[in-house]
Amino acid sequence: MVGRKNMNNDRENHAPSLLIATRGFYRRRLTFCAPLLIAMIVPVAPVLAGEMGNAAPVDLKKGESLAKQMCVACHTDDGSHGVPLIPIIQGQRANYLVKQLTDFKSGARVNAVMESLVGSLRDEDMRNVAGYFSGLAPVEVKPPKNVDLAAAGREIYALGIPGKSVPACVACHEPSSPAMTAESPVLSGQRQDYIKLQLANFRAGSRKNSELMTQMALHLSDEEIQSIGAYVESAKNK
């Protein structure tokens, strides 16, 4: 299985070179991957950015107050901690957060805890909370725990898996990518366990609020999902 070697002794020596190499790797491949992903995404992506642009201004004070009332138990008040299966939302894109809150409320994304919390939220409440969390500094990225596993994930993230019709993750999830939409979260520094859980849920059909992700995850093995999570947790935005 990929990444089972014990790399603990030289992890710190290899981690910087892995991150530096990824930058060049990403730039060379984005030109190739982006047109394909744009063609796949445009027909299904919601125009959330436009909707938020026409809404009332975000009130960050109200967003912070709501976050400390409703989010602190699982995400902490700044969205940076919590158990491994709960996502880090510190510095996450506001449009993405609004999309997920809206989906929890409508039932498009299923989670009993989140459904009970967002049931009473108005649209402006969601925008305020999302604006608060998105305005926080991005999570600090640490070196990979397993260099070999992260390297395998980096290859999938940057190149996809052509033999399985899996496009590169980088085209949708890097802020500098022209294919990134309001529906696409920033993944840099996200918890490995959370990434693994969500990819597995998309693959199993228990998470259904992104048809594109469902189609991609269907072709991923457990090992490939694990490696993507390992890379994302240690990756910096380009």
Q: What is the pLDDT of residues 196-209, one digit of tens each?
A: 999 999 999 999 99
Question: Which residue has better confidence, 18 or 219?
Answer: 219
Does residue 148 register a pLDDT over 50?
A: yes
Residue 52: its pLDDT value, please?
Answer: 53
What pTM value is reported for the model?
Answer: 0.78
CATH of 8-43+142-234, one of 1.10.760.10, 3.40.630.30, 1.10.1740.10, 2.130.10.30: 1.10.760.10
Residue 2: its pLDDT value, please?
Answer: 42
Which residues are paired to 161 by β-bridges? 166
Residue 50: its pLDDT value, please?
Answer: 42
Does residue 19 register a pLDDT over 50?
A: no
Residue 101: its pLDDT value, please?
Answer: 98
What is the mean predicted confidence (pLDDT) over 80-96? 92
Residue 88: its pLDDT value, please?
Answer: 96
User: What ranges do the domains of the chain cover?
Assistant: 8-43+142-234, 48-134
Banded pLDDT at 54 (limits 50, 70, 90):
low
Banded pLDDT at 21 (limits 50, 70, 90):
very low
Does residue 45 register a pLDDT over 70?
A: no
Examine domains 8-43+142-234 and 48-134 and report if their fold is the same.
Answer: yes
What is the mean predicted confidence (pLDDT) over 182-193? 91
> Does residue 150 sit in helix, strand or coil?
helix
CA atoms within 13 A on the CB side of 42: 8
Does residue 149 register a pLDDT over 80?
A: yes
Does residue 38 register a pLDDT over 60?
A: no
Residue 180: its pLDDT value, please?
Answer: 83
Does residue 131 register a pLDDT over 60?
A: yes
CATH architecture assigned to 48-134: Orthogonal Bundle (1.10)
C-alpha to C-alpha distances, 38 to 45, 211, 214, 216, nearest whole angstrom: 10, 14, 17, 15
Residue 53: its pLDDT value, please?
Answer: 52
Q: What percent of the chain has pLDDT over 70?
A: 76
Banded pLDDT at 130 (limits 50, 70, 90):
very high
Please list, residue by residue across 53-88, b when 16 or more beta carbons sit within 10 angstroms of its beta carbon and e when fewer do: eeeeebbeebbbebbeebbeebbbebbbebeeebbb
